[in-house]
Amino acid sequence: MKLTLIAALGVAAILLWIAVEIGLEAMPAIQQYAAGFLIATRWNPVKDIYGALPQIYGTLVSSLIGLLLAVLAGIGVALLLSEDFLPRPLQSLLALLVELLAAIPSVVYGLWGIFVLVPLLKPLGTWLHTYLGWLPIFSTPPSGPGMLPAGVILAIMILPTIAAVSRHALRAVPDEWRMAALALGATRWETILNLVLPVAGSSILGAVLLALGRAMSETMAVTMVIGSANRLNFSILATANTIASLIANQFAEASGLHIAALMYTALILFGLTLAINGLAELLVGRRQ
């Protein structure tokens, strides 16, 4: 019995251990740059000058693009999976396919992204630049890999999270309440919009946050399509970089202060995802 308590505490302790380990490794960079690291925009391993703003910006913006594209579709799929739109067999088929979408390894998404998605999005990028080029976010000609393909691939990858967790929340709304609304004369959609969605609202918000955390921590697929450019560019058609893909690209060859600087960025990413996931778990409250 004691052994199981120790194991359970051990699992929780790993979380702390990760934070301490990364923090210690990052110490040299933290001492050298302190908070200025967060707003400096140059990343030059040759001269040992490090600033993480472009990567932080890239992480946030690529995730937000993914979220924008995935939220409505994700909640829509969750509704199809929880309300009475589809016959049972079709519903479980859809659930299976969405699960499959979540199970495909991220490196496979990246492979597909390089060879299919990036070429596919290039004409769209050209069109956006030609007709809406006066907007800062479309101000550069499309470069092929970049922020836009990264956002699109993230959208595909986080959609199952939004759908599965929201479905769970929608299912938790008692059927009697739906029947009561219908008995009062509400149509199906009035029931959904005025009763089901508001009741499940905070859990769905949790699902969205969970997906945001997932998008920010996604590494391989993004690394393969974002173009790895370590400078700040507001155009989503240009190449960019995220914290995770910066680490994936550079860590194996890093040494000295470079390692510490990468550890510092990892600490930032860890802190960001920790806050978002913690909040999401509290909102979802999957267990009582």
Partner 1 sequence: MVNSQDAGSAQSPGGGLRRTLLAPRTLFGLVMSALLYGCAAMTLLPLLALLSYLVSQGVGRLHWRILIELPPPPLVEGGGFGPAVVGTLLLVAIASLLSLPLGILAALYLAEFSADQSLASWLRLATQVLSGVPSIVVGMFAYGVVVVATGKFSAVAGGFALSILMLPMIVRTAEDALRLVPSELRQAAVALGATQFQTVAGVVLPAAAPAIVTGMMLAIARAAGETAPLLFTALSTQFWPTGWLDPTPSLAVLIYDFARSPFENQRSLAWAAALVLVILVLITGVLARWVTRRSVR
**Residues 32, 42: Cα–Cα separation, whole Å:** 15
Among 39, 189, 198, 256, contact with partner 1 (rule: CB under 8 A): 189
Among 39, 68, 72, 172, contact with partner 1 (rule: CB under 8 A): 72
Name every residue whose Cβ is closer than 8 Å to that of residue 279 and which is 6 or more positions away in sequence: 206, 209
Using CB under 8 A, count the residues that bind partner 1: 88
**Residues 277, 246: Cα–Cα separation, whole Å:** 22
Minimum gap (Å) between residue 70 Cβ and partner 1: 9
β-strand partners of 43: 50
Regarding 183 and contact with partner 1 (CB under 8 A), the answer is no
Regarding 48 and contact with partner 1 (CB under 8 A), the answer is no
Among 9, 34, 35, 183, contact with partner 1 (rule: CB under 8 A): 9
Would you say 237 or 246 has its CB closer to partner 1? 246
Among 44, 126, 130, 194, contact with partner 1 (rule: CB under 8 A): 194
Closest residue by Cα to residue 63 from 209, 210, 215, 208: 215
Among 56, 61, 121, 163, contact with partner 1 (rule: CB under 8 A): 163
Alpha carbon of 88 to those of 97, 205, 270: distances in Å? 14, 27, 41
Would you say 238 or 283 has its CB closer to partner 1? 283
The Cα diameter of the chain in Å comes to 71
Among 247, 260, 261, 283, contact with partner 1 (rule: CB under 8 A): 247
